[in-house]
Amino acid sequence: MKNHNDDITTGFNDLTQVEMSIIAAQKMVGSATMSMDEEILADAARAVEDARALLQSAMENQTGLDGDFLQKSQNTLSQCEHQLQEARH
């Protein structure tokens, strides 16, 4: 029996998923930079990468009304990446 994940409905649209993944990434980056633990920093970097992938997908499917949200999301992820880079150096 095959598992059909495409049939699962989460109740969240793409933009909500992007927003939630960015919020989670921000929290992980904050925790990682406070602890300075390499494993936690790596997990935070993966969370940012995952959020960036969701954002990229949303950007490819955006409507004219999504532009401000997507730009703000890009800026937030860039800040997270910068924070991680600063913590590692």
**What would the pLDDT profile of 20-68 be if each residue is shown by its tens digit?**
999 999 999 999 999 999 999 999 999 999 999 999 998 888 777 788 9
Place 4 in a pLDDT band, splitting at 50, 70 and 90.
low
Residue 66 per-residue DSSP state: S
Is residue 1 assigned to a domain? Answer: no
Cα(75)–Cα(89) distance, integer angstroms = 21
Q: 53 is in which domain, residue-wise?
A: 11-88
Q: Per the structure, how many domains does the chain have?
A: 1
Residue 2 lies in a domain: no
Q: How many CB atoms lie within 10 A of CB 61?
A: 9
Residue 74, in any domain of the structure = yes
Residue 79 lies in a domain: yes
Per-residue tokens: 23: 């919020």
For residue 8, the model assigns a pLDDT of 53
How many C-alpha atoms does 39 have within 13 Å on its Cβ side? Answer: 0
Which pTM does this prediction carry? 0.81
